[in-house]
Amino acid sequence: MGKVYLVGAGPGYVNYLTVKAHQLLNQAEVLIYDALVDSSLLQLVKSECLKLDVGKRGGKVSTPQTEINRLLVEHCQQDKLVVRLKSGDPFIFGRCTAEIEALRSAGCAFEVVPGISSALAAPLLAGIPLTDPVLSRCFAVFTAHEPDELDWEALAQIETLVVLMGGQHLAEIVHQLARHGKSLHTPIAIIRWASSPQQQVWVADLENIVAKTREISLSPVVIVVGEVVRLRNYLQPPSMPLTGKTILVTRSLGQSSQFSNLLQQQGATVIEMPALEIVPPSSWDELDRAIAHLLEFDWLILTSTNGVDYFFERLAAQNRDARALAGVKIAVVGEKTAQCLNKYGLQPDFIPPDFVADALVEHLQAQLKGKKVLFPRVESGGREVLVKELTAIGAEVVEVAAYQSQCPSAIAPAALEALQSGIIDIITFASSKTVKCFYQLLKTHGEADLARVCIASIGPQTSKTCLELLGRVDVEATEYTLEGLTQAIVQWANDN
């Protein structure tokens, strides 16, 4: 029989998901999720996973709890690994009791996986401590979904209050606290979309917070009431070069988030947008034939990590390993490609000093002249100049399709929302193909005003495509690596 995992999604942003929750999302066969679950989390599941939105939002049509219970039981009894993804922590206003009772009654196996509640995360991410030796020796967390049911006299005596689901009832919250003895000069913070790139914080006193936020949609928000709110100005972390900048990183689907990590280390808020899918070529015949005759080649040229991985995948498919390259010299473009090669126990014989493929000819003319070169590459073409120049110096170049790159079918919802809402400060491109796919996706699935957005490119070829399709380039890395692009963006931010 299957099993149901009731999983806490945390406050929203994928960075605050627990390791176990991440693992379960990767394994899920059925995902049943709430409305406040961030769309970026949905990208962690397998493409064949059945995704069911049963979200509950105030004032909107919601899936009845009985139907949610039925779905959990039905899919579990079909021997599926079911993840019931709830915002925050499942046991903090997560309505788990009814679901667990339904699972128990049906004899379904289940497990509850904790998450970071927004009641704890939102204040922290806004720089507000919930406890302090002098100002707050305790705090209370409650939901204001039904304010008439609360003991306001008791709540008004507590030093720090954290209110969930209180945006629609802010005026009533203020009224009740003041009526029961809370000073109107007590500070209050309203934190909207905590942990996400759209996070906003409003701070005022009870006396004027309603007027300050009258024109603002207060959903979803976490409200903090108490003297600890005044500590916010003192407890904010020191500003880093990219603090306050929201950066859209275009990348290959499934690619490592190494670049995002580099930017986050500099203080940036990062939204990832898969703008390229790497898939096998339409046929392995050419690559398999070349591998079968490896001893005929003098050089192997690899210009990307994709080329490395797919080459060695096909090498293994013929029951061979790195020893088959004993008589072949290897040239790679870029440190990242070299590191990928290292995974297979090999060191490159040559890396161009400026990480540009076309520089191979300049530095290896004598060694490549008259030699037979194997060049596994993307099926749809690329590096035409390199092939032309190698041929011109007398090298015999055998090009074979090792992989194919294509545009995704749609823009990731989080990326599209960020683009259309105008919160993006910088868009990064690490290849010409990601520029082309980004342009195509934006043209097909949703327009966005990029006039005030910084366009950052990893190198000259990518910049050329940016100029052709987007009309400009604002930042170009001087060292054509992800580290180099990060440094260039930091420099731009310091200058602006």
Ranges 38-52, 221-235, 256-270, 397-411, most confident = 221-235
Whole-number pLDDT of residue 368: 83
Cβ(225)–Cβ(166) below 8 Å: no
Cα–Cα distance for residue pair 40/22, rounded to 1 Å: 12
pLDDT in tens, 226-255: 999 999 988 887 788 998 899 999 988 766
Identify the H or E element spanning 187: strand 187-192
> pLDDT category, 284, cuts 50, 70, 90?
very high
| Of 38, 165, 329, 425, catalytic | 165
Return the minimum-mean-pLDDT range out of 6-20, 319-333, 407-421.
407-421
Whole-number pLDDT of residue 409: 86
Cα–Cα distance for residue pair 130/142, rounded to 1 Å: 14
The yes-or-no answer on residue 165 being catalytic is: yes
Pick 197 or 65 by higher pLDDT: 65
Whole-number pLDDT of residue 233: 87
Ranges 115-119, 244-248, 347-351, most confident = 115-119
Whole-number pLDDT of residue 243: 87
What does the pLDDT average to over 433-437? 93
Look up tokens 């709540």; give the residue.
155
Return the DSSP state at 132: B
The yes-or-no answer on residue 205 being catalytic is: no
Whole-number pLDDT of residue 141: 97
What does the pLDDT average to over 93-110? 95
Cα–Cα distance for residue pair 36/219, rounded to 1 Å: 10
Pick 451 or 389 by higher pLDDT: 451
301 closest CA partner among 397, 379, 370: 397
Domain regions of the chain by residue span:
3-116, 120-235, 238-496
Whole-number pLDDT of residue 174: 97
Whole-number pLDDT of residue 58: 53
Largest CA distance in the chain: 91
What does the pLDDT average to over 3-28? 94
Cα–Cα distance for residue pair 243/400, rounded to 1 Å: 44
CATH 3.40.50.10090 is held by the domain 238-496? yes
Whole-number pLDDT of residue 60: 58
pLDDT in tens, 149-194: 999 999 999 999 999 999 999 999 999 999 999 999 999 999 998 9
Cβ(117)–Cβ(107) below 8 Å: no
Residues forming beta bridges with residue 81, ordered by sequence position: 3
Whole-number pLDDT of residue 358: 60
Whole-number pLDDT of residue 381: 64
What does the pLDDT average to over 444-448? 81
Q: What is the CATH number of domain 3-116?
A: 3.40.1010.10
What does the pLDDT average to over 284-295? 93
What does the pLDDT average to over 29-34? 95
> pLDDT category, 352, cuts 50, 70, 90?
confident
| 456: Cβ contacts below 8 Å, ≥ 6 apart | 426, 427, 428, 429, 473, 474, 475, 476, 477, 485, 488, 489, 492
Mean per-residue pLDDT over the chain, rounded: 90
What does the pLDDT average to over 399-406? 90
| Of 56, 212, 371, 372, catalytic | 56
Whole-number pLDDT of residue 406: 87
Q: For residue 266, what are the CA distances in angstroms to 161, 166, 246, 247? A: 33, 34, 12, 11
Residue 383 clears pLDDT 70, i.e. is over it: no
237-271 exposure pattern, b = at least 16 Cβ within 10 A, e = fewer: eeeebbeebbbbbbbbbebeeebbebbbebbbbbb
> pLDDT category, 311, cuts 50, 70, 90?
very high
Q: What is the CATH number of domain 120-235?
A: 3.30.950.10
Name the burial class of residue 313, with classes exposed (0-12), middle (13-18) and buried (19+) by CB atoms within 10 angstroms of its CB. Answer: middle
